[in-house]
A and B are shown apart, each in its own frame.
Chain A
Amino acid sequence: MSALLGFVLLVLCFIGNTSQSRAADGSYLHELQLRAVTAGLHQQRYWHLLLHYRPTLVGGYESEADEPGFFLAPNGKTDPKAELEATLSQFFSTELIGRSRQPGRCAFIARYHWLKAELAIDETRLPAEPCERFNSWFKELSPASMTLIFPSAYMNNPSSMFGHLLLRVDQKGQTEQTRLLAYTINYSADVTTDNGFVFAVLGVVGGFKGYFSTHPYYIKAREYGDFENRDLWEYRLNLTPEQIEHLLMHTWEMGNASLDYFFFKENCAYQILSLIEVADPDIHLTDRFWFYTFPSDGVRLIAEKPGLVKDVTFRPARATQIRRGREALSGDEQAWLSRIVRDPNEARGDSFTSLPAQRQALVLDVASDYLLYQIATGDNDTAVYRERNKAVLVARSQLKIPSVPVAIKPIAGPPEQGHDIRRVGLGTGWREGEFFNELNFRLAYHDLLDPEYGYTADAQIEALGIALRHYYRSDRTRIERFTLVNIVSLSPVNALFQSPSWKINTGFATIQHNGCRFCRIGNLNGGIGIAAESAWLKREVYFAFADLAAEYGRVFDSDYRIGGGITVGALADVTERWKIGLSGTYLQFPIGEKSGEWRISAQQRYTLHKNVALRFDFNQRAGTQEYLLNLQFYF
């Protein structure tokens, strides 16, 4: 390549000196097109990255960008060569093009920059275009480095259950204290419906358009940290100034593009990774994904590239600050905290003001965080909380001492250190006097018994799980169960936080019922409840749910039954590696086949390695007992 470039440069020195006039435009364009195609630039990875081309199954290419104005050739979406030639041709025009209405070389500045270098474009024959808008944008961003940001999972919004990815453009001279002022690069869908069902369907089939935007970090930090209570993980990337410039040039030209937004694959994580590939084409990120892109997998890919991540910073959400802040208080101080958030006048009483000023400040700081949390997330009239917060803050300001910065320890570990997302298990077990072997697979993501490090605590999301069993005595192999989705969100309550816990689960299961030994039924159930926690051993969580359940299967009289009941249970981390889960459910079905059923389960997990765990489960359902010893691998 460099030899070719050298040769081209040499040739250009001669040609350039002989043609000063733009009258030679036509011939120069023709020459550039010829050289570009001869050099095979349209087949190069970088060209494909800039245009977001992907190989198709039939051997061609298709771009993932979906806005006609992003392509300069009519068939540019599927023809990298035609697009290359049309791009060069557009460079000779000052016509304003694209959604951004700029001359071709400014609207598609990354393409120009690259082709100029590859073809050694002679600016005496193609005079430079000033591109003032790009220059002032770039100056305003004032880039010094790039940081990948992972807002962790947010259980109470289905569109954020797996986290998110965005980039932050760290500014020159930025400090830990002023990173809020940096701009971010965010990719998100322009959602055009408020109907949940339409939202789901359009999201899956790519019915929304995705756009890139540059919100200040303080807006995103507030959105995630204050409103949604999502901890943020920040990964500063080791990119050269030149790589950063390439990334931002490409981001600028993506201002002309919209891309069909697909929930599962071509989502925020996928498109943010596609920008990082432009910064360094040698790292392959997006082609590692086939059917879905998890934001945490994106972080994992970035983190495993040697030397790519310079440092990792944890930025706690408001709720995390409150929780850790409260933990740092003594029992008496916690009691003060509870009183003050209800009646701030307590902070003026003699017994509180006789505490050391530093301790008063700690209590008042947590109190104000808590009141702001209520204002941002509360259902009730927030004016009350606002007034209380003002009173707390006036008391705080009168202490006349600055708050000591406290390092907040994360509640969940960094996402890239958690177990991998897919899981396969090999097991052996016993069911009603019969041995069986089991092979199970789960596409995603995490259940309450999986090793918790790196995952949001007390949150379970399982999607697309299947278990195959071979029974020895009856010599049959069958699909024992299938999980479409199984979500549990436990929110332990304490003196400050009271949110409901909830769960939903649907799929197929095998039961023994009405004399049928292996009967497949479809089930849908959900529940709403309450959870609490303690720290006797390490950490224990207790829960109780009111359940609703519907089951369908030919085994039932009239083919179905609908009912409800209650579930109580507990989870306990006995050691770092050993976790136990117990639960009991009673369901009564008054609709359809009238029946009642007890279910008991006792599960244990022992972590052998980040990605290997041993499980031992006991399940009893309507008198049918089953034991399963299962070795699970995450990959």
Chain B
Amino acid sequence: MSKAKWLQIGVALLPLCATGVWAAANPDNGPGCGLGKLAWSDYDHPKSIAPQVMMATTNGTFGSQTFGISSGTSGCTNDGTIMAEHKVNVFAAANYESLSQEMARGGGEHLASLAELMGVPEETRPEFFALAQTQYASLVASGNTTPAAMIETLQSGMKTHPNLIKVSSN
């Protein structure tokens, strides 16, 4: 346990619920909009960095501005909701690790949610899941394991799939 944490425990006695955390700078250099950089996986020491960034993005200043209700347009959000054209990318960036895992497992709620955002109809989801499972090895083999590459891999797989091609061309 770090010294800083002991200090917190010693002095920050017991607020009754989460209150947000120390503000941290929001790195606004992702693809398209600020939220694209929600890739926490980019940090080598997530325990020391990710929670702060995470909290800053979700509870702190970034949170109240970006996801602030009736706050107007900011980055890729509009009054606190994510603009339609950014939804897939933001979701993939925020859930990259769970999505990788569920691709390999051939299903799961993150993958189902991604399918929903990509417009894959309910009845072809089993095929989409099976495709994702096949595509996982090629995603890793390509060496480009970023959220954007993940989406691209899935889309290119769908283009050659008889029942998913219609969705991918939308």
Could you tell me which A residues sit within 8 Å of B by CB distance? 98-102, 107, 133-134, 136-137, 140-141, 151, 156-165, 175-181, 183, 185-186, 188-194, 196-197, 199-200, 203-204, 208, 211-216, 218-220, 222-223, 226-228, 251-256, 261, 263-264, 267-269, 292-295, 361, 365, 368-369, 372, 375-379, 381-383, 386, 389-390, 393-394, 396-398, 400-403, 461, 463, 485, 487, 500, 502, 504, 528
Q: Are B18 and A188 closer than 8 Å at their CB atoms?
A: yes
Shortest beta-carbon distance, B55 to chain A, in Å? 7
Residue of B45, B97, B100, B130 contacting most chain A CB atoms (<10 Å): B97
Take A137-B80, A220-B58, A375-B97 as given contacts and tell me if A188 and B69 are in contact as well, using a CB distance cutoff of 8 Å: no
CB <8 Å contact, A403 and B107: yes
Min CB–CB distance A426 → chain B (angstroms): 27
A215 pairs with B51, CB closer than 8 A: no
Q: Quick check: A193 and B110 within 8 Å, CB to CB?
A: no
Asked if B112 lies at the interface with its beta carbon under 8 angstroms from chain A, I say: yes
Q: Report the bound CA distance from A377 to B43 in whole Å.
A: 12
Contact of A178 with B18 at beta-carbon distance under 8 Å, contacts A214-B67, A377-B46, A397-B133 already known: no
Contact pick for A158, options B12, B94, B97, B134, CB 8 Å: B12
A75 to chain B, nearest CB (A): 24
Which of B9, B60, B109 interacts with A191 by CB under 8 Å? B60
The chain B residue sitting closest to A160, CB to CB, is B18
Please determine whether A218 and B113 come into contact, CB atoms closer than 8 angstroms. yes
CA distance A211 to B60 in the complex (A): 9
Main secondary structure of the interface of A (DSSP, over half): mixed
Given contacts A178-B112, A378-B46, contact A263 B14 (CB under 8 A): yes
Are the C-beta atoms of A218 and B91 separated by less than 8 Å?
yes
Chain A residues, CB < 8 A from B91 = 181, 216, 218
Quick one: given A162-B17, A397-B137, are A252 and B12 in contact (CB under 8 Å)? no
With the chains together, A214 CA to B68 CA distance in Å?
Answer: 6
Whether the Cβ atoms of B105 and A203 lie closer than 8 Å is no
Contact residues, B1-56 vs A (CB, 8 A): 1, 4-5, 7-23, 38, 40-41, 43-48, 50-51, 54-55
Flag whether B163 is at the interface (Cβ < 8 A). Answer: no
Report if A461-B14 is in contact (Cβ < 8 Å); known contacts: A222-B94, A252-B69: yes
Chain A residues whose CB sits within 8 angstroms of the CB of B109 once the complex forms: 176-180
- CB 8 Å contact bits of B79-103 with A (1 = contact, 0 = none): 1111000000011001101101101
Which B residues are CB-close (under 8 A) to A100? 70-72, 79
Q: Is there a chain A Cβ closer than 8 Å to B106's Cβ?
A: yes
Nearest-CB residue, chain B, relative to A139: B81
By the criterion CB–CB under 8 Å, are A268 and B79 in contact? Answer: no
Closest partner residue, chain B, to A504 (CB atom): B9
Residues of A within 8 A of B50 (CB): 227, 376
Alpha-carbon distance A256/B70, docked complex (angstroms)? 7
- Is A375 a contact partner of B68 (Cβ separation < 8 A)? no
If A192-B23, A379-B48 touch, whether A372 touches B81 (CB-CB below 8 Å) is no
With both chains docked as a complex, state the minimum distance between the C-beta of A214 and any C-beta of chain B, in angstroms. 4
Q: Pick the contact of A101 from B17, B63, B72, B145 — CB < 8 Å?
A: B72
Tell me the complex Cα distance, A390–B45, Å: 18
CA distance A381 to B43 in the complex (A): 10
Interface pairs (20), CB distance under 8 Å: A100-B79, A134-B70, A162-B16, A163-B17, A178-B113, A178-B116, A181-B113, A190-B20, A191-B19, A213-B68, A213-B80, A226-B98, A268-B19, A372-B101, A376-B46, A376-B50, A378-B47, A381-B44, A403-B107, A485-B14
Q: Please pick, from B13, B38, B69, the residue contacting A485 in the complex, using a CB distance under 8 A.
A: B13
On whether A189 and B19 interact (CB within 8 A), knowing A180-B113, A379-B47, A402-B107, the answer reads yes
Provide the residues of chain A in CB contact with B21, threshold 8 Å. 159, 191
